[in-house]
A and B are shown apart, each in its own frame.
Chain A
Amino acid sequence: MSRPLEPLSVGRVIGEVVDIFNPSVRMNVTYSTKQVANGHELMPSIVMNKPRVDIGGEDMRSAYTLIMTDPDAPSPSDPHLREHLHWMVTDIPGNEIVEYENPKPVIGIHRYVFILFKQRGRQTVRSPSSRDNFNTRRFSQENNLGLPVAAVYFNAQRETAARRR
């Protein structure tokens, strides 16, 4: 397993959300001052607003699709609504087809995953019908997106959750 993919597979992002891929595009997600790093934890108050996503662009012609999902909805011990879609942006920089919904982890510690796909052409991605029971693999098959090119995830729990013991 190559080194950039190890945190993703240890955190089971590869496996539950996407399949093994080759990260070819650099992607930085930053919530005001905090950069998202694989497996690190962020507070819900910080992630209330949209993050800034920097995509290392080699060419400006290709369009990308960014998906943000929560594979542990509604609770990691019982994720029957896996996954919950929080945000989808296509034709980057461009359409936000599913509006940013700020993470509300009610029960337990949730992972929030950002996945970047490369689109074959512009305006080929349709918005899904509902946010719940979203399946990233199926969505990428339906819209011909193939394997992702970048992924990152962070953890979040309720603000008032017990932290120190």
Chain B
Amino acid sequence: MANVAVMATTNNNHPTTTSRWNMSSLRSSLPPIPPTSASSLRFTRPSPTTLRISRVKSQSLLPSFTGLRPLPIFAPPSEFSGFDHGFTVIDNGGRVYAMRHGRKVPKLNRPPDQRKALIRGLTTQLLKYGRIKTTRARASAIRKYVDKMITLAKDGSLHKRRQALGFIYEKQIVHALFAEVQERYGERNGGYTRIIRTLPRRGDNAPMAYIELV
């Protein structure tokens, strides 16, 4: 949990969680909130300093825990501007299990033909635009195929070009890729993409990520 959370709080020792949505850590670290400071929290949400000060004060009288009722006030998930700027959500996307034993292929909730089409489309778009925003599962699923396409382009022979043309939907992207990949990724061995996790999507709270060419 320690390495997952990124909170850009510059000048403040924030007493609460490192990972936002772990309930046990939230419960154990939150101080009991006297009702007055709770209401002041609600109204002064936009200004970060009062938020911080009230938390630090009540942190000192920790011992008795008045239950979970005050918690929802801290909860507002969308208000990251309440903390210092630069707060990025790094959590594990709601993944409940810690293990991945035996899971070789990401199925993406689709039958195989649609899955292939989705992956082809996403890699085409990524090669075309350089940075796209999709769900985390899709972003990590297309990494392999983007790297494959770049490796084909690095090889550069006609056979590889035709293989790439069979995968990528737009042929000018293939030709542009074959033309520029040498100077761009000539020295890099693998790892041609980068995934940056970001805020969840509003409509269905799907964990989103930017995937970009390195």
- Which A residues form the contact surface with B (CB < 8 A)? 3-8, 10-12, 23, 26-29, 34-41, 72, 75-79, 107-109, 152, 155, 157, 163-164
Residues of B within 8 A of A11 (CB): 196
**Total contacting residues, chain B, CB less than 8 A:** 29
4 A-B pairs closest in CB distance: A77-B130, A76-B130, A108-B129, A38-B86
Out of A6, A34, A77, A163, name the residue touching B8 (CB < 8 Å): A6
Asked if B131 is at the interface (CB within 8 A of a chain A CB), the reply is yes
- Which B residues form the contact surface with A (CB < 8 A)? 6-11, 80-81, 84-88, 127-133, 180, 194, 196, 198-199, 203, 210, 212-213
In whole Å, how far is A36's beta carbon from the nearest beta carbon of chain B?
Answer: 6
Known contacts: A76-B213, A164-B203. The answer to whether A37 contacts B129 by CB under 8 A is no
B87 contacts A37, CB within 8 Å? yes
- Give bound CA distance, A163 to B204, whole Å: 13
Q: In chain A, what residue has the closest Cβ to B208?
A: A41
B88 contacts A38, CB within 8 Å? yes
Out of A23, A35, A36, name the residue touching B10 (CB < 8 Å): A23
Among B6, B8, B88, B203, the one with the most A-chain Cβ atoms within 10 Å of its Cβ is B8
Q: In chain B, what residue has the closest Cβ to A39?
A: B88
B6 contacts A7, CB within 8 Å? yes
Q: With contacts A38-B85, A155-B210 known, what are 12 further pairs, Cβ within 8 A?
A: A7-B88, A8-B86, A35-B81, A37-B80, A41-B133, A75-B129, A76-B130, A76-B212, A79-B130, A108-B130, A152-B85, A163-B133
- Give bound CA distance, A8 to B8, whole Å: 10
Among A4, A11, A29, the one with the most B-chain Cβ atoms within 10 Å of its Cβ is A4
Q: In chain A, what residue has the closest Cβ to B122?
A: A165
B132 contacts A41, CB within 8 Å? no
B196 contacts A39, CB within 8 Å? yes
A77 contacts B85, CB within 8 Å? no
Residues of A within 8 A of B129 (CB): 75-77, 107-109
B8 contacts A4, CB within 8 Å? yes
Out of B85, B88, B198, B203, name the residue touching A28 (CB < 8 Å): B85
- Give bound CA distance, A41 to B80, whole Å: 13
Known contacts: A3-B8, A76-B212. The answer to whether A109 contacts B86 by CB under 8 A is no
